[in-house]
Amino acid sequence: MSKREDNHFELIKVTSLDEIMKGDIKELNTSDLSLQSEGHIAQFKYVEGKKKKNSKKVKIVPGCFTIISTMAGCDLEPFTLKKHNLLDTINNTRSIKERANQFFDNLAVYEELGQPKVRNILLYSDPGFGKSSAINSLCEEFMKEDPNTVVINWNTSAVRSSSVESFFSIGTEFTKEVTRMIFIIEDIGGGEQEYSGNRSVDSSLLGLLDGNSVTFQVPTFTIATTNYPANLLSALADRPGRFDEMVKLPAPSGKERALLAAWIGKRDLTEEEILVLEDPKLDSQSLSIAHIKEIVIRSRLTGKTFQEVIEDMVNHKEKFKKGFEEKGRLGFD
């Protein structure tokens, strides 16, 4: 459908009233609109503008892209997946890949049931548990398996959901080479809640997930991530069809903590260090990949043992928590 026509009035002639009064002008030109101002008459004719053509759609081709916002609307910008070998030891990628394969390997189920070939999962954990790394590893594997895969990343803090909804509904088209899409929605739900009560959810985001406003032309596996699942309303997080599954990335186990520390430190750990990291008491601390990295680096910088660094980190965590629990006071003693 074409956009609104650019119809307008075009000025024909401006005539002074003095000329008319003197008889220099016998009659005025025929016009569609005449406007009289002090001492003059302006005549206009109606002109139908040419129909504007639809703006050119963005063609989606195989590869990795991120959605960006421009003056003309959304566009796709190529990006390179970062290689992450770290997660091979703790298999977070495997958990996501199993779900993606269950979807892509059973598209006949959707055909049989007459349902759109779309599946959405919500991946959540505390910060530093490797959600982005796991997703990057998954995308890298899937693109090797099928080079006609397209990966599209949307950073929700950089581009509004209404713009993305409009982009996919009227601003894009898939080329025939694309066989499937992995759609990544980063940091859905925003930052940590600073108040009690529910946050509102943009209706365009709901429409995008529901498929009411956008019907993807290729099988699409959507992976949304959040650090704060409690921020999301039940209408968004607890409703099949918007998010079919909510997948929690677990903290590394004791054995995995030791393997990660050895990998990061690029050396074999001592028996004492292995015992410290595999201590079941640490399970309650939910140490992330980022924590393990800090333990290794801080130990090298300060000369402290793993045990001493962990004790410092745990004490700081408790002090930090206490500082925020004390009546609106943000500082620490």
Highest mean pLDDT among 46-55, 266-275, 322-331: 266-275
What integer pLDDT is reported at residue 9 of this predicted model?
A: 66
Structure-model confidence comparison of residues 185 and 71, the more confident one: 185
Report the candidate in 322, 266, 272, 316 with the shortest Cα–Cα distance to residue 296: 266
Question: Quick one: pLDDT band at residue 24, thresholds 50, 70, 90?
Answer: low
Point out the least confidently predicted range of 118-127, 203-212, 249-258: 203-212
Q: Are strands 40-47 and 8-16 parallel, antiparallel or unpaired?
A: antiparallel
What integer pLDDT is reported at residue 287 of this predicted model?
A: 83
What integer pLDDT is reported at residue 191 of this predicted model?
A: 44
What integer pLDDT is reported at residue 214 of this predicted model?
A: 74
Residue 51 has pLDDT above 50, yes or no: no
Alpha helices in the chain (DSSP H): 17-22, 92-104, 107-113, 131-145, 161-170, 203-210, 234-237, 254-265, 271-278, 289-302, 306-325
Q: Please tell me the distance from the alpha carbon of residue 68 to that of residue 77, in angstroms, as a whole number.
A: 7
Residues 229-234 have a mean pLDDT of: 67
Contacts made by residues 284-289, CB under 8 angstroms, sequence distance 24+: 285/314, 285/317, 286/126, 286/251, 287/251, 287/252, 287/257, 288/125, 288/126, 288/127, 288/128, 288/129, 288/130, 288/251, 288/252, 289/86, 289/90, 289/128, 289/129, 289/130, 289/133, 289/252, 289/260
pTM of this structure: 0.69
Point out the least confidently predicted range of 189-193, 208-212, 297-301, 312-316: 189-193
Highest mean pLDDT among 111-125, 205-219, 305-319: 111-125
What integer pLDDT is reported at residue 192 of this predicted model?
A: 41
What integer pLDDT is reported at residue 294 of this predicted model?
A: 92
Name the packing angle between helices 306-325 and 289-302 (round to 10°): 120
Point out the least confidently predicted range of 148-157, 177-186, 190-199: 190-199
Per the prediction, the chain carries an average pLDDT of 79
Structure-model confidence comparison of residues 187 and 202, the more confident one: 187
Structure-model confidence comparison of residues 1 and 219, the more confident one: 219
Residue 72 has pLDDT above 70, yes or no: yes
What integer pLDDT is reported at residue 143 of this predicted model?
A: 93
Residues 169-197 have a mean pLDDT of: 77
Residue 323 has pLDDT above 70, yes or no: no
Phi, psi (rounded to 5 degrees) for 154: -125, 115
Q: Please tell me the distance from the alpha carbon of residue 93 to that of residue 115, in angstroms, as a whole number.
A: 27
Report the candidate in 211, 18, 4, 251 with the shortest Cα–Cα distance to residue 120: 211
Structure-model confidence comparison of residues 264 and 201, the more confident one: 264
What integer pLDDT is reported at residue 166 of this predicted model?
A: 87
